[in-house]
Chains A and B, each alone.
Chain A
Amino acid sequence: MTTPLLAARGISKSFGPIQVLDGIEFEVNAGRNIALCGENGAGKSTLIKLMTGVYHPTAGHVEVDGKPVVFPNPKVAIDAGIAVVHQEFSTLSALTVSENIFLEKEPRTRLGFIDRRRLKADAETLLADLGIDLDPGRTLDRLSVAECQMVEIAKALRTEARVLILDEPTAVLSSRETEHLFRILAGLIDRGMGLVYVSHRLDEVFEICTDITVIKDGGVTSSGTIADYDHDKVVAAMVGRDLGDLFPPKATAALPQPPALAVKGLVVESGLPPVDLEVRPGEIVALAGLVGSGRTELALAIFGAAQAQGEVQFLGESLPRRSPGSSLARGLAMLTESRKTDGLFPGASVGWNFAATSLGKDAQPYALSPANEERRAHSVVERFAVVVDDTGQPIDSLSGGNQQKVLIGRLLENAPKVLILDEPTRGVDVGAKAEIYRTLRALAEAGVAILMISSELIEVVGLADRVLVMRDGGIAAHLTGADITEDAIITAAAAGDAAGASLDRDPANV
């Protein structure tokens, strides 16, 4: 048994009265890639921050090469050879690749000026070393998200690192880009680095990890070499229950009514094909497709948040001038893809976020009623089992899943007849996903028409009554009943694309 490069020994961490981690044992060995799995809120991020000097343990300690160490700040951890690629990028889009990689560590001339020639050469060497094909002189606003991620990794490895921790590195990557990332990571493992791989995507874990540690509620529930695990065993360790009841049964009754939402010849952007679609009361229709196939743009156009030519009928009535305000007033509500930028008022309270689209609902004449808003907020907290101490606390102090529950609750306040949901379970843990699925199905059964955009194939297959597959801005396929399979969706979404076209989200992400 060799000495681990990095280890957590009986580490515990409390924030005030809340115990987040309890006696965690974790080892990172040379030439190994250990997966760190767990639901959102299980304590993965806290563990990483403890091992990289961002937080300090309440009990236990960190070891490097078998010797106890204390990291007073992240810089000391970096100097000890522990590199991290955080989920949130630290790259700057206005700077070049080389400027990003060596930010604050720029090579200097003898006079103290930045040595531009060496900056470029060092970046070229590092990128070539990692097998990343990027021009160091390009600014990052000309790069794809995946390429920015490569820059982020190069930046983490600019110093001599022996341990690389990656937190959800593929969250924004297509599958082809993910493969490229994996090749780079395999190279790092080959040269004896120790990797920690945090991911929700279990098929990736099985593809590139050698070991696995699962944590739940702040403790290690399972740990071993990956060969001893399969998908179900990992999920069981993460959730502590079976996957079988994740999806509620689909609609069985016939849906005779006229469509609640009918889109006719909608042209989202000149040059794109016109789109027709219908959603009936009581059904869940999924829009599947690759990233960039135009799903979000279509949804925004229907909702009235983006300009488009064509007709949108709502309950048989044509809507001439659409805007988010008029749509909401008529009973057409939308959950946006990006919770952070287009959904929440970060910093504002849970209660206020909840009431924001229905402020008039229980207002007195000429005045809002905070008391009524709070009462309504309390009812949604109860209904969706939102984990929150007080509806007055800022919404960004909640986990992603709980934020999403508040936003879905907000949508329902206006008693919508049509719901458009863009990636409703993004960044949400398994338990909350199941609750969201049940909520959506219950709404459909109550007669709401639901149009759902999802990149998670298992979700599309498990939940949707009908599937529209988009490609290049148009509807490429219409699948119903038993025809809804992952294969059929992938085929329709990627047809005509270059071989190996990337279906952006993978099915195992539950």
Chain B
Amino acid sequence: MSDFARAIRFQPVHLVIVGLILTVFVVGAVHSERFATLTNVSNIQDQLVVLALVALAQTVVILSGGIDLSFAGMLGLLTVLFASVAGGDPAVFAAAVVGILTLGALLGAINGGLIAFTGIHPLIVTLATSSIMAGVALLHSNQPSGSVALFFEDLVYARLFGFVPYGTIYVLAAYFVIGFMLWRTQFGTRIYAVGDDERAAAISGVPVRLTKLMVYSLSGLIAAMAAIYMVGRFGVGDPRAGVGFDLRSITPVIVGGTILAGGRGGVLGTLLAVILLILLRNVLNFLNVSSFYLWIVEGLIVIVAVSLFAARASK
């Protein structure tokens, strides 16, 4: 395999996903003339930003052999706090952004600390902290509230060249930075090592606990990025903003070829799978299929993807 293919963690399944993306796109275009328009292509990009970010966070966590189910509570809490602190005042906007990113990283670090130092399974830890954060968010405001500076909303809704929202740039930048981190930093190598075999990693001198702590902290930081975007898009903070993102964040990671057991995979597959899933959602809308079916379809996709990879792994 060439160095480049290895750097981007290319897998043959990525070609399959690209093929599916093209197929779904053609089906949509054939079915509706409003589908393949610049407006709709921009909308699709708007729709994928949040999922792309939480799935990116989840990719890093799963690569390290863990799982983060705290997004449901965390996104709610972070959007509510951000919308109430930032308000409509442009003057405090920058400080609020820095504050919420820091808080996200800290909340993630609490997850990571509990996981690394108590030995409690990440599933339990993150479900529990998710519940706590959801409770705090609802206590703070039990309905969507707060606001954000208008310039930020304008920025979120602006399009470069008429069809590229800034949200897309935001996502691509995040994926590039994390992808680079995984390939070219010691922390990146440590993530793969810990996810592959904790014992062997520890014998080799990898600081396993520190690595886990940093992984979940990074996950919280990326969740905060998603929360900031959500407030910009909806204009308010919503304590229920994260509902469903615990499981939805896992789907694209698995479909994209990252192994649930850890140590294998990368961010490219996740991004492609996010595009596929959002596109599918969009096309089903155009076909007038109830979005409830989408829940069923996504569930089936996960089961099929996991069993395909499991069958391949056992060969």
Contact = CB atoms under 8 A, between A and B. Distances in A.
B185 A113 contact: yes
B177 interface: no
B21 to A, nearest CB: 27
B201 interface: yes
Interface string A99-131: 100011010100011101000100000000000
A458 B204 CA distance: 37
B240 to A, nearest CB: 37
A94 B186 contact: no
Given A95-B189, A95-B196, A114-B189, A137 B1 contact: yes
B200 A92 contact: yes
A113 B196 contact: no
B140 interface: no
A116 B188 CA distance: 13
Contact of B203 (A75, A86, A96): A86
A92 B196 contact: yes
Contact of A90 (B7, B185, B204): B204
A116 B2 CA distance: 13
Given A90-B204, A91-B200, A137 B189 contact: no
Contacts of B192: 92, 94-95, 99
Contacts of B201: 92, 103
Contacts, number: 63
Contact of B200 (A90, A112, A113): A90
A114 B196 CA distance: 20
A309 interface: no
A103 B204 CA distance: 7
Nearest to B181: A113
A92 B193 contact: yes
B31 interface: no
A104 B203 contact: no
Contact of B184 (A96, A113, A120): A113
Chain B binding site: helix, strand, loop or mixed by DSSP?
Answer: helix
Chain A, interface size: which category? 20 to 34
Interface centre among B189, B196, B205 (most CB of A within 10 A): B189
Contacts of B3: 116, 120, 137
Contacts of B206: 103-104
Nearest to B194: A92
B205 A104 contact: yes
B195 A94 contact: yes
A160 B195 CA distance: 29
A229 interface: no
A114 B184 contact: yes
B223 to A, nearest CB: 25
B121 interface: no
Contact of A106 (B189, B196, B263): B189
B203 A90 contact: yes
B6 interface: yes
B264 interface: yes
B176 to A, nearest CB: 14
A137 B204 CA distance: 19
B197 interface: yes
A113 B185 CA distance: 5
Chain B, interface size: which category? 20 to 34
Interface centre among B3, B196, B206 (most CB of A within 10 A): B196
B200 A89 contact: yes
Given A114-B189, A137-B3, A137-B6, A93 B196 contact: yes
Given A114-B186, A116-B184, A94 B205 contact: no
A92 B197 contact: yes
Interface in B235-287: 263-264
A94 B263 contact: yes
Interface in B1-30: 1, 3, 6-7
Interface in A252-266: none
Contacts of A120: 3
Contacts of A95: 189, 192-193, 196
A92 B205 CA distance: 12
Contacts of A114: 183-186, 188-189
Interface centre among B7, B186, B201, B206 (most CB of A within 10 A): B186
Nearest to B200: A90
Nearest to B193: A92
Contacts of A137: 1, 3, 6
Nearest to A114: B184
Interface in B63-106: none
A114 B183 CA distance: 8
Contacts of B204: 90, 92, 103-104, 155
A92 B193 CA distance: 6
A99 B188 CA distance: 11
Contacts of A112: 185
B1 to A, nearest CB: 7
A346 to B, nearest CB: 13
A104 B208 CA distance: 12
A109 B78 CA distance: 37
Given A99-B189, A104-B205, A104-B206, A92 B184 contact: no
A262 B184 CA distance: 59
Given A75-B205, A104-B204, A137-B3, A92 B263 contact: yes
Contacts of B7: 116
Nearest to B197: A92
B200 A106 contact: no
Nearest to B6: A137
Interface centre among B1, B6, B204 (most CB of A within 10 A): B204
Given A94-B192, A94-B196, A104 B263 contact: no
Nearest to A86: B203
Nearest to A92: B196
Interface centre among A75, A88, A114, A155 (most CB of B within 10 A): A114
Contacts of A94: 192-193, 195-196, 263-264
Contacts of B195: 94
B202 to A, nearest CB: 9
Interface string B194-229: 011100110111100000000000000000000000
Given A92-B192, A95-B196, A137-B1, 13 more contacts: A75-B205, A86-B203, A91-B200, A92-B204, A93-B196, A95-B189, A103-B189, A103-B204, A103-B206, A112-B185, A113-B184, A114-B183, A114-B189
**3 closest A-B pairs by CB:** A94-B263, A94-B196, A90-B203
20 contacts: A88-B203, A92-B196, A92-B197, A92-B204, A92-B263, A93-B197, A94-B192, A94-B195, A94-B263, A95-B189, A95-B196, A96-B6, A99-B189, A103-B189, A103-B201, A106-B189, A113-B184, A114-B184, A116-B183, A137-B1
Interface of B: 1, 3, 6-7, 183-186, 188-189, 192-193, 195-197, 200-201, 203-206, 263-264
